[in-house]
Structure 1
Amino acid sequence: MTPHRPRRPPHQRRTWLFVPGNDDTAHAAALRSGADAIVVDLEEMTSPQGRPDARRRIAAFLPRAQATGTIGSVRINKLEHDGYADLEGVMPGQPRAIFLPHAESAAQLAALDSALADIERRLDIPPGSTEMIPVIESAKGLVNLGALLQVSPRITCCMLAVEDLAANLGARRTPAGDELLYARSRFLIECVAAGCVPLDLPCTWRSAAVLERDMEQSTQLGFASKSVVYPEHVPAIHRALTPSEADMRAARALVEAHCAQQDNGGAVAPGSAWIDYPERNNAKQLISRYKLFNPTE
């Protein structure tokens, strides 16, 4: 039995695990994975002929996810494709968020906002309670991102895709991922400026070693939330994004040592190492993140 966990607000959702829409086994595995949010996918992971059945399965699955405290969400198709049918099929399950793929224009997001408002009214769902998460998969979407994030207050998070984005840019994919470093940086800056939580691109290499390097780059840039395509990646991502009590105590000791160093006019106590401001700042960030998940401490 999957234990109940408190439902996390946007800035505490570390992992968004994507699963196929019509695979009950994958749905159950996703719940067991411990991911903070599950994205049941009607786009790439579900064939067009499988979508009608998948919508029914998703509508039934979403309340189960919510009952455990997991954020249940759905990636629909573009509205001009099967998106409207997707919404009609899954909204009775009251997803917490709807992912819109290939977001490039304000008009796309305004149309989704309008469609959600209509369905919420018809189904007696609290107005405005369904979040919208644009998925950025092209250069056009990335350069328009600042404007896209202003379309609706429903937009609390935004996701950067990886393989379609790389294809659009003509980038040659490598395990190091340096080919998408600028895109990740630009995406993060635009989201932070708009007050929106940026969801980093998924690591689509299964290797644990590649994931470790990817998370090192992700956290260096400043990401604190990540989309996921392999359930086994979830624990490692959580470890990277969740400071332990030991981490917090070490960080606090470093900050105190830096304060003492400054109080002594920059002199280093015998047996101690010099502490630079970047090290102190990193430690203060870690303490702040620890408090985010442990507010009573």
Structure 2
Amino acid sequence: MTVRASADRVEALVMESGDARSDGGRLLGGVSVQVHPRTTAAAAGPRGRGHRSSPPRGSGAVVSLPTPLRGWVRTAHRVGSRDMGLISARRSWLFLPGADREPLLQAATCGTDVAIQDLEDFTPATLKERARGLSAEICAHWMEHGVEPAVRVRPLEEGGHVDTEAAVAAGAAIVVLAKAENGDEVRALDRLISYHEGRAGRAHGVVEVCPTVESPGALLRLQEIASASTRVTSAILASEDLATNLGVSRTIDSTELHYARSRFRLEAAAAGILAVDCPFTFDDAEGAVRDLTQSAALGYRAKSLVRPGDAPLVNSTMGPDGHELERAAGLVAAFEQASAEGRAQVVFEGRIVELSAYTAATRLLASEADRTGK
């Protein structure tokens, strides 16, 4: 059996992964992968930071997969439906340096809905291995405190396959894909996550994917990226890299990104995924309030951040609506009933519920009760 995949993605993944074999193949996570290369001409034109050319539509390399991985490839795009009501209740998404253990642990109590261990830009190359070694402890700690655990991985051809293995094994609920450019990359990540879910003993399809949009081309291809896998439930708009790729300077009022933020929100709505607005990266309390007000005016219900102290402000501005609270209450009731009956697996509205989703839902309800006094 053979499957098709983008050659420049798969070749990079295979050639960077593990032991070489005498027959020209490589061992990927203990699995032999044979790649029959295809040569493509690189797209002409200037390349800014974070830019990677997309392969022509319909092109691909033939990748021969052994029996252990074939089943995952066949089912990679048949993951069950997601509870978008609960997903849209993820208001705050906090990026954290991947190798700094104490700040990572402390993030559990800052109020953020999603905490992201960043193994890409926030972690120097010399500390990436150490950061991956912390993932299991950090994800477990966040789940205990009702925070959705996420890990940001590098693009697969830049070492992201190693980050992804660590993230799935650690119990991350969301894999955040840095510098996503096209649907081929998401499909490759989908297959890799499926394989590692099996190795880690996790239910197939429980790990979500959240691409970060950091280039003009990726913004224009957001619907392609979002539709590449049913794992994609959200996407994050970058600010610094996007501004660099646009050739503009960042300003405290983000005037230079107004169209991009509006377009991103529109594209995400059309794709049916949660749009997570870019972070406010200036040390200015009044500016942060203005930026959040602008974000809400554009229709955003979620925002990324880089300072833990901003989480309460984001949550109060991006608060859940009645439908989201009703869904959260339903999930909590279903989980607690299943636990009381001794059932090992909890399914709510067609979705397998892990502990992280339950604790996040209980924390959302408690936060809303504290805010309203009810």
Q: Specify the TM-score bucket, using the shorter chain as the normaliser.
A: 0.7 to 0.9
Looking at structure 1, the residues matched to 249 and 160 of structure 2 have their Cα atoms a distance apart, in angstroms, of 31
Name 1:114's counterpart in structure 2: 191
Query: How far did 1:244 drift?
Result: 11
Structure 1 residue 56 corresponds to structure 2 residue 133: yes
Unmatched segments (≥5 aa) in structure 2: 1-84, 323-364
Match of 1:194 among 247, 258, 271: 271
Aligned to 1:46: 123
Whether 1:223 and 2:300 are equivalent positions in the alignment is: yes
SS of 1:238's equivalent?
helix
| 1:107-146 paired onto structure 2 within 5 Å | 107-146=184-223
Q: Distance in 1 between matches of 2:321 and 2:201?
A: 42
Equivalent residue number for residue 27 of structure 1: 104
Deviation at 1:119, TM superposition (A): 0.5
Deviation digits for residues 51-93 of structure 1 (CA, Å, limit 9, x no counterpart): 1111011122101111221100000111001101112223221
Amino acid aligned to 2:161? Y
Aligned residue runs from structure 1 range 1-297, under 5 A: 9-242=86-319
Answer whether contact 1:76 1:101 (CA < 8 A) is retained.
Answer: yes
Give the match's secondary structure for 1:87.
Answer: helix
Matched with 1:258 is none
8 Å Cα contact 2:115/2:149 also seen in 1:
yes
CA deviation profile, 1:71-116 (whole Å, cap 9, x unmatched): 0000011100110111222322110000111111111111100100
The structure in which a higher percent of residues are helix is 1
**Conserved 8 A contact 1:206-1:230:** no
Q: Secondary structure at the match of 1:133?
A: strand
Tell me the TM-score normalised to structure 2 length: 0.62
1:283 maps to none
- Which secondary structure state, in structure 2, belongs to the residue aligned with residue 72 of structure 1? strand
Q: Check the 8 A contact 1:100/1:135 in 2, yes or no.
A: yes
Q: Which runs of 4+ in 1 moved over 3 A?
A: none
Q: Which has the higher contact order (CA 8 A, sep 6+)?
A: 2
CA contact (8 A) 1:21 1:51 kept: yes
TM-score normalised per structure 1: 0.78
SS of residue in 2 equivalent to 1:141: helix
CA distance in 2, matches of 1:221, 1:193: 15
Paired residue type of 1:27 = L
Q: Identity across aligned pairs (percent)?
A: 34
Assess if the C-alpha contact under 8 Å between 1:22 and 1:58 holds in 2. no
> Does the 8 A contact of 2:234 with 2:273 survive in 1?
yes
SS, match of residue 149 in structure 1: helix
Q: Distance in 2 between matches of 1:207 and 1:230?
A: 11
The residue matched to 2:281 in structure 1 has which SS?
coil
Shift of 1:48: 1.0
Gaps of 5+ in 1: 1-7, 246-289
CA deviation after TM superposition for structure 1 residue 242, in Å: 2.4
Contact 2:108 2:141 in 1 (8 A): no
Q: What letter matches 1:47 in structure 2?
A: P
Instruction: Say whether the 8 Å CA contact 2:114–2:150 is kept in structure 1.
Output: yes
Alignment RMSD: 1.9
Q: 1-side partners of 2:138 and 2:298: how far apart?
A: 35
1:144-196 Cα distance to aligned partner (Å, 9 max, x none):
11111100110011110000000000112111111101000000001111110
Evaluate the alpha carbon distance shift between residue 244 and residue 79 of structure 1 in structure 2; reply closer, same or farther with a 3 A threshold: closer
Q: Is the 8 A contact 2:169 2:197 kept in 1?
A: no
Q: Is 2:180–2:211's contact at 8 Å kept on the other side of the alignment?
A: yes
Counterpart in 2 of 1:281? Answer: none
Offset of 1:124 from its aligned partner?
Answer: 1.2
Q: Distance in 2 between matches of 1:244 and 1:184?
A: 22
Please report how far the alpha carbon of residue 202 of structure 1 lies from its aligned counterpart in structure 2 after TM superposition. Answer: 0.4
SS at match of 2:154: coil
Number of matched residues? 242
